[in-house]
Amino acid sequence: MLHSILPLLGLLAVPAAAQDAPVLEVYTYDSFVSDWGPGPALETAFEESCACDLRFTAAGDGAELLARLRLEGARTEADVVVGLDTSLIAMAAETGLFAQHGFEGRAWDLPIAWQDDLFVPFDWGYFAFIHDRSLETPPASFEELAESDVSILIQDPRSSTPGLGLLLWVKAAYGDGAEAIWEGLSDNIVTITKGWSEAYGLFLDGEADMVLSYTTSPAYHIIAENDDSKMAAPFEEGHYLQIEVAGAIASSDELDLAMEFLDFLTSDRAQSVLPTTNWMYPARLPEAGLPEGFETLIAPETALIFPAGELPEIRSMALDEWLTALSR
Amino acid sequence: MAYGAQPLIRLGQIAAGLVVLLIAGTILAVAWRAEASARLGAADWAAIRFTLWQAAWSAILSVALAIPLARALARRRFPGRSAVVTILGAPFILPVIVAVLGLLAIFGRNGLLNAGLGALGLPEVTIYGAWGVVLAHVFFNLPLATRFLLQAWLSVPSERFRLAASLGFGPAATFRIIEWPLLRATVPGAALVIFLICTTSFAVALTLGGGPSATTIELAIYQAFRFDFDLGRAALLALVQLGVTTVAGLLVLGVAVPDAMGGGLDREVAYRPARGRFLDGLMILLATVFLVTPIGALAVSGVAALPGLPAEVWWAAMRSIATALGSALLCLVLSLSIALAVVRARRGVARLLDLAGLLGIAASPLVIGTGLFILTFPWIAPSRLALPLTGLVNAIMAMPFALRALIPAVARVEADYGKLADNLGLRGGARLRILILPRLRRPIGFSAGLAAALSMGDLGVVALFADAGSATLPLQLYRLMGAYRMEAASGAALLLLGLSLCIFWVFDRGGRVDADA
């Protein structure tokens, strides 16, 4: 029992040290701050130069971040939000909480032109289903997947940005036929998790044949684990593009520091950390280029994406179809 | 009645009034806010259907399995029987999320069951989805149903079984003449109570449901909050939930509900036919394995993770302990006030006071939570209210059980010593301090323990209000599961289990030390 109490005592003694430095409160998603995610490395790097205390708060998956901001409204303690994406920025902008960033002139290495005065892109990727090499004849389209008995793990589009990405992927590829695709997929789904972390963890534990993630996910296994058994299934319809963004909260007491952090997030130092911690393509290609292993990844021929302005409407229509198809 | 009783009655009226005000007030807030909102969508109807579907199956399966189990327990004597009966009482204080993690360890894809099935070349089972929800509900309610039915079996006078034996009744005749009427009288009540409990299922559906096809109304309320921040729709769903629980509650009131909290379950009936011994034994063994292995597996996997638990888990544990203590105190103050008044007041008033205290059984925590959120949100940040409201709501949920324990005890004290105390002019605070409280140690200890354990393990209201900085241990545990830090999650689950049992034990034992026999 002593074992369990000792850390507790230590805990009570800790929070005296870094009290005077200004605190920058950053809301982000779970996997960003996990031990192997970019959070710890970015925190160390930023704190070296900012004379501040950077604090990450994990608020579930990306879409939950937005819900949390809407719930907290002007009361929010966040100074910066990291991890919203192209599917959410129109809704996020509607909250009126975000400040203009002034980094418009920056040159981005993104598959599409970037124009947004509230949100700064920090990485991007294509959604894809990941499977083990041992899976025989992986499906090459949603139709094939729906007809097969391959089991999949997906995320809830209401709480998770990959989940929302999948919703929009199917909608972009099939339009009015999206609901029929979802009905076909419903018997392939093992479970719908609230966030990416849980789904990917379940997949690695063997709970399903495929999991919705990114074309870049195999790079994690290749580089970090020296394991080339995981691969992304290329889909004929093309792959939906996600650009992850960060924004500063306008009402923040530390707005200058928040801007400094956004600047840092898109700097060469942070950008070269992201590919091997967040396992996404950097928004600005670092001088050293992409890490070895990224060249093995599939490159989708067709990138699908809805214009940001149309999204709130398309999202709510696609969500109704999804709910209807999967609640039968 | 007793001299100087008026202030006590008034105190009870105030306590009952507060409970009614809270429940009615939150319902009014919900109704007021729901008006502005739109219609129910396809997914909402699916949630209503699923809520009823899973509650029905949970009730049917729990009772169906409880019948042979209760019968076996009633008529067999074996070493460890009282331990089995004790285990049947444990789910009352077992945190739902702990049980879910334990069930995952057995029934998950990598669980013991699938390992066994895989070794035999049989297809694997999945715990996620609708049947997983039902499985978890059966885990919680099979023991409850068994206690209901066991009570009924034990209520049959032994003479009747002896008479049946001397008349040469075979098993079929014994069943038809004695057991069937007994089942017919108790099974509907037991099934309806379980149905009612399962209609307000939240934590199980949250963790095992996953997806629109396995969403309960309570979960849909949570999603409307947390995913869409749509208070209007949350309120509308809360009204629907209220309708479902009210109808189910009225049905329960309409049938005879057996007593599951009563003592004396360690007796056995005089009817011990030689035939069926193997089947009875098998039933008891399977049920015990079903109830014990998930927690055992969790304990094994959790022990290793305990020393390395992240700091936020320990902070959450401290918040949970504080909440549990507050909840226990509140539950006691409210229940004791009502119990003292019920014993003194005129019959009609007493009945009303008692009913007010029982409201908690039919109230849905998430409906109350929704109402409180609507009332407080404009004024105060929800996360600051997370702990007080968790304590408050659980105190009210525990009140029906506390009252069932306290009212008879107060009545007994007054019957035994009331006249004497009146003659001595012992009234008011002195009467309470000198006469009543010392003789209520047992029910007080039990009630406080129950309220504390319930709020320690609760994952309901807190999920609506809390953020990372105000998370209780169950919520922190759920976060760890969401981030798929399963080792830390099982460690936290073991900690939560230990704390819940401990806090119940401390209060319950505390009430028995030196207790007036």
Q: What is the DSSP string of B279-306?
A: HHHHHHHHHHHHHHHHHHHHHHHHHHHS
**Which of the four pLDDT bands, split at 50, 70 and 90, describes residue A8?**
very low
- ipTM of predicted complex: 0.81
Question: Which range among B1-5, B151-155, B425-429 shows the weakest confidence by mean pLDDT?
Answer: B1-5
A86: tokens are 């192209």
- What would the pLDDT profile of B249-269 be if each residue is shown by its tens digit? 888 877 766 666 555 666 666
Put simply, whether A207 touches B (Cβ < 8 Å) is yes
- What would the pLDDT profile of B36-59 be if each residue is shown by its tens digit? 556 788 888 999 999 999 999 999
Q: In the CATH scheme, what architecture does the domain A20-124+242-294 have?
A: 3-Layer(aba) Sandwich (3.40)
Interface contact flag, A198 B315, Cβ < 8 Å: no
Size of interface A-B (CB pairs under 8 A): 112
pLDDT of residue B271: 66
**Residue A57 is nearest to which of B215, B468, B495, comparing CB atoms?**
B468
Bridge partners (DSSP) listed for residue A120: A246
- What would the pLDDT profile of B454-510 be if each residue is shown by its tens digit? 999 999 888 888 877 788 999 999 988 888 888 899 999 999 999 999 999 999 888
In sequence order, the 6+-apart residues with CB closer than 8 A to the CB of B239 are: B30, B31, B34
Interface contact flag, B109 A58, Cβ < 8 Å: no
* Chain A residues closer than 8 Å to B226 by CB: 64, 67, 71, 159
Put simply, whether A57 touches B (Cβ < 8 Å) is yes
Domain A125-241+300-326, what fold?
A: D-Maltodextrin-Binding Protein; domain 2 (3.40.190)
| B304–chain A nearest CA distance, Å | 11
> Token pair 């999948």 is at which residue?
A166
Interface contact flag, B109 A205, Cβ < 8 Å: yes
**What does each C-alpha distance from B360 to A145, B331, B400 come to in angstroms?**
48, 11, 7
Please report, for chain B, the start and end positions of each structural domain, with discontinuous segments joined by +: 11-35+43-512
Put simply, whether B379 touches A (Cβ < 8 Å) is no
Q: How far apart are CA A185 and CA A170, in angstroms?
A: 11
Put simply, whether A190 touches B (Cβ < 8 Å) is yes
- Is the model's pTM score more than 0.80? yes
Put simply, whether B115 touches A (Cβ < 8 Å) is no
Superfamily of domain B11-35+43-512: MetI-like (1.10.3720.10)
- What would the pLDDT profile of A136-183 be if each residue is shown by its tens digit? 999 999 999 999 999 999 999 988 899 999 999 999 999 999 999 999
| B315–chain A nearest CA distance, Å | 8
User: What are the start-end ranges of the H helices in B156-276?
Assistant: 158-166, 171-174, 180-199, 203-204, 217-226, 231-254
**Residue B212 is nearest to which of A71, A193, A327, comparing CB atoms?**
A327
Question: Which range among A252-256, B209-213, B462-466 shows the weakest confidence by mean pLDDT?
Answer: B209-213
Please report, for chain A, the start and end positions of each structural domain, with discontinuous segments joined by +: 20-124+242-294, 125-241+300-326
Interface contact flag, A323 B481, Cβ < 8 Å: no
**Which of the four pLDDT bands, split at 50, 70 and 90, describes residue B339?**
very high
* Chain A residues closer than 8 Å to B114 by CB: none
**Which of the four pLDDT bands, split at 50, 70 and 90, describes residue B125?**
confident
pLDDT of residue B100: 92
* Chain A residues closer than 8 Å to B211 by CB: 156, 189, 191-192, 326
* Chain A residues closer than 8 Å to B110 by CB: 205-207
pLDDT of residue B262: 57
- What would the pLDDT profile of A19-76 be if each residue is shown by its tens digit? 578 999 999 988 898 878 899 999 999 999 888 999 998 887 888 889 888 888 888 8
Put simply, whether A7 touches B (Cβ < 8 Å) is yes
pLDDT of residue A99: 95
